[in-house]
Structure 1
């Protein structure tokens, strides 16, 4: 699915997507900040081979979707884009799989409209509704201003080395980050942070799966996701030898984790 064959419009914005037909439950992959749909190539192919209808897409300002003139990336627009994509394709309660920002968006959609999703798989993303310490709040507040101080030419490499731990993961991440102008990346980062909105006692109203790279050191994911798993009473899939972009650092192990979760929800009944 390296090239997206579908396009739909939201006003002046064009959004690219790929849609592979299948008889089993639809699955929608949403990539992380600064990345694009290709980060899920291996996992999308695996689920399609297992009979699922599989949808991938590029958020506005990412990959093949571009950014409409005069429009800045915001969390509200991205969330509405995801909802509009489900409507455009007529998807009935698909399983939402999101990485990083994509995981934050998928959480927000389920929180706003739980009837729209049949399951939620969050990959290397923090817990939107989870509690935050004073230190975590301060780090979130300072993240974008700190990134703004980094020269544009150095930002893709620094972000890649913070996100991936394998040579292959770092190289692919840096090449993808380099396609996005710094001003757009900062808006995307601000949007990601804005989706973190603690709500004591909130519990995910649809089946939940959690996956993270063992060596993910971005934000508070390494501490927040275990807390989230305990609060929701679900297992956390920790992938060894992988950082934040687990699907690039350890594609086969990440695929196994995703397939294990999805199969557990959609297994065909035995005769």
Structure 2
């Protein structure tokens, strides 16, 4: 379904599971988990069906960021982190959600970090999954070389420093298979993803280049779980360690997964969903 979040902007939204469930003589409200997808330029489909295992403890809201996937197309002037972060609040207002648990995966984690900075009192909890606070180019290049040799390093360097359509195509061919340490559980998952390449290139060439989200993390006013794969080349472990160190100590929790790449649930779903379940229920 499409939800109008104000100003004629419509986001594609999918909801899994009830928010209210029978509990004895009354009804119990489950927490709402909002899943923000990676990219930029991709859609929410990568969360499915894996995240369904959490539907017994949370109502899950999936959506495509403004301009992405099945959401309405929007002008490039709106393709920025401030707008995408504010959309979390707009979407919650439209759906009547208060105190959500907000999970940002990869690029969705950029949005979640900016959301923490701009709306520190809005969430009940935040999960930063396989994400980064800045470019950290040398870390990326070192990890891609470790995982795929000089060819992967060179392809990553060309794309991240000069994001043209040609460099993106070469990077995706040379580096995408290095993101994870195990074959995909669902080999057709990538084929289901709707990609808006123009958003990807716009963001990487622009806002991504000078990005530094670390100062805003000090604004956090709720528990924040940082999840990282120790073999993630695109969002290396050191990035997660920096994010955790920049959060207020009383709110920060860092969990790293050995032998795991980008999106811990892809390579070790049992461990990743156990951590998520514990955090949601705490």
TM over 0.5: yes
Query: Is the counterpart of residue 41 in structure 1 residue 41 in structure 2?
Result: no
Separation in structure 2 between the aligned mates of residue 117 and residue 174 of structure 1, nearest angstrom? 30
Query: Is the counterpart of residue 110 in structure 1 residue 116 in structure 2?
Result: yes
Q: After superposition, what is the alpha-carbon deviation per residue over 1:22-49, rounded to whole angstroms, capped at 9, x for unaligned?
A: 2212111101114422222245322221
Separation in structure 2 between the aligned mates of residue 194 and residue 86 of structure 1, nearest angstrom? 29
Q: Decide whether aligned partners of structure 1 residues 149 and 27 sit closer, same or farther in structure 2, where only a CA change above 3 A counts.
A: closer
Q: Decide whether aligned partners of structure 1 residues 246 and 204 sit closer, same or farther in structure 2, where only a CA change above 3 A counts.
A: same
User: Which residue of the other structure, out of 177, 198, 205, is the alignment partner of 2:221?
Assistant: 205
Counterpart mapping for 1:62-81 below 5 A: 62-68=68-74, 73-81=79-87
- Structure 2 counterpart of 1:28: 34
Query: Is the counterpart of residue 236 in structure 1 residue 263 in structure 2?
Result: no
Separation in structure 2 between the aligned mates of residue 120 and residue 263 of structure 1, nearest angstrom? 13
- Structure 1 counterpart of 2:279: 261
| Structure 2 unmatched ranges of 5 or more | 20-28, 143-156
- Structure 2 counterpart of 1:268: none
**Contact preservation (8 Å) 1:31, 1:98:** yes
**Number of residues paired by the alignment?**
254
- Structure 1 counterpart of 2:15: 19
Query: Is the counterpart of residue 160 in structure 1 residue 156 in structure 2?
Result: no
Cα RMSD (Å):
3.6
CA offset at residue 83 of structure 1? 2.2
Query: Is the counterpart of residue 248 in structure 1 residue 244 in structure 2?
Result: no
- Structure 1 counterpart of 2:150: none
**Contact preservation (8 Å) 1:98, 1:106:** yes
- Structure 2 counterpart of 1:223: 238
Which of 233-242 and 150-159 deviates more?
A: 150-159
Computing the radius of gyration from Cα coordinates, the structure with the larger value is 2
User: Which residue of the other structure, out of 168, 186, 194, is the alignment partner of 2:201?
Assistant: 186
Query: Is the counterpart of residue 99 in structure 1 residue 98 in structure 2?
Result: no
**Which secondary structure state, in structure 1, belongs to the residue aligned with residue 215 of structure 2?**
coil
| Structure 1 unmatched ranges of 5 or more | 265-271
**Which secondary structure state, in structure 1, belongs to the residue aligned with residue 234 of structure 2?**
coil
- Structure 2 counterpart of 1:267: none
Separation in structure 1 between the aligned mates of residue 246 and residue 86 of structure 2, nearest angstrom? 28
- Structure 1 counterpart of 2:4: 8
Give the TM-score normalised by the residue count of structure 2.
Answer: 0.74
- Structure 2 counterpart of 1:55: 61
- Structure 2 counterpart of 1:269: none
Q: After superposition, what is the alpha-carbon deviation per residue over 1:223-255, rounded to whole angstroms, capped at 9, x for unaligned?
A: 121233355444422223321133333333321
